[in-house]
Structure 1
Amino acid sequence: MSDRTVLLVDGMALLFRAYYASSYSGYIKRTSAGVPTNAVHGFVKYFTDAIKRFRPTHVVCCWDMGSTTFRTEQFADYKGNREAAPEELIPQFDLVKEVVDSFGVPNVGLVGYEADDCMGTLARHYADEQAHVFVLTGDHDLLQVVAERVHVVIMKKGPSNYAVYDEAALLEERGLTPRQIIELKGLTGDTSDNYPGVKGIGEKTALKLLAEYGDIDSILANLGSVSASIRNKIEVSLDMLHLSRDLATIRCDVPVSCPIDGCVWSPDLVRLRAKFEELEFKGLAQQIG
């Protein structure tokens, strides 16, 4: 058993959560020069809390690299319902990466792919190297990458509140295997990512079908056995069913790499304190002492 534990961080998930958690009152933390820093400050608190909780030996932070990906080429409306990022958050996208870099943690992203694809690829790679992997996110789509040595950690409301999934926990709570997370999305679509799945099939029906047949291919092979109503819905939406399943599939073979020796967790505290002082994070700078 390897004693190496890698924490893969979904950077955007932490940053957006931190922004909204700290701006709902209307007050935005800024430097004396007027640069907004509320999301970065909150990000650091979430990030360091996860480090304390999961005690990784290695850490990587993954990022989306713009809204155009192979998925938007497949389906133009993919994530087309998302509002533009709040104005005060935009300058914090680069700032947060500087802070991550100050921790000595690699920032990883690949144009044309989502952070999910980078995390899925790296998780599989590190697990193949016998490391234990924790994927930190707020996105339930990533439950599909759960594996023998890969846990997915979903951030819940409130500080230090995590749901940690391995294969057994996923099966117990949702009645699904990791692979069936993809099949479920193929059938129901995903309102937050803006693709429809099969019109008229909700989660309850989809779960029932998957419990009975296991996956979409088996459902299609047994269409004669399902009710006329469900059969009709599936036949009308067949192309969208296949497309939705493909859109839901996290790619675990994208051309991204971050050698495990390059992401050892050992922050340079002097450098980190200087960064916190530059951003006027007095409390955080004092904690480093």
Structure 2
Amino acid sequence: MRIDSFVDVLQTELTTTQYGQHPPELYDPIRYIMSLGGKRLRPLLTLMGTYLFTDDWEKAVRPALAVEVFHNFTLMHDDIMDQAPLRRGHLTVHEKWNPNTAILSGDVMLVNAFELMLNVEAGALKTVMTRFSRTAAEVCEGQQLDMNFETRWDVTETEYIDMIRLKTSVLLGFALELGGLIAGADAETTQLLYDAGVNVGIGFQLKDDLLDVYGDPAKFGKQVGGDIIANKKTFLLIEALEKGQGPLRSELDDWLRRTDFDKAEKVRAVTSIYDQLNIRQLTEQRIDDYFARGFDCFARIDADPARKAVLLDFVQQLIGRES
């Protein structure tokens, strides 16, 4: 089985699914954001998670789409909160229409996601809906924690890891878990799938933090150093604040307090502080640790090795990305 097979089936479903028609001002933004592309890794993980245990993996297509619709709902609302002008190189929904329309369209997307998830077979439906509801709430909890951190300078590594686990990783974990639930896998196996997704998801987010500072601008896909410019609480900044002492800590505090500065100069200065504190090496070690935990969970799953190889190859490709 080739990854392209999952991609083709998913793409067909994405382009043919109807979210509603009237009034068009409500549904056009949904079609718009769903057409902007993206890696589609969450629904693909669901399909591959189902394929691990059954040839009938296409029964997971609409529930997998539910995960993607939910993910894009969170992006639509996050963009409003962040006042972001662009999403994947295009105007965000609140910029193309207006914030009120984006809020309401996002609300309908959430409803659409739950409707799509109802396509799960009856035997697994209650468990799936319970887990989906819990995951949806956790994503919102993570977003609130992230907003709380904006006004705090004492965020710990443990708090940060828990925030990114909730905000980004639990949905990856659920995507894989969902595949196992649809295929009828046992509770131990679905837990391993979930744990694998969560740990790999934390690794992904930490790698994003790292690439924002040390990535190749030609490959990263956005401005390198953007987090430094914005004083964003990333793993790197949190560790630097914890480990920095004396003149280095004073210099870092000075750059964090400044409201008038040359962006390139600030990025160079803060990156230099990170270098002196070995923050890059520490971050790389944490990334490797979480990826290793994820692959340990995959290794403990009892499934056909050839089927598992398809999933592992896909995850390895994601780990190796630089954008």
| TM-score, L = length of structure 1 | 0.29
Higher helix share: 2
Structure with more relative contact order (C-alpha pairs < 8 Å, separation 6 or more): 1
| TM-score, L = length of structure 2 | 0.27
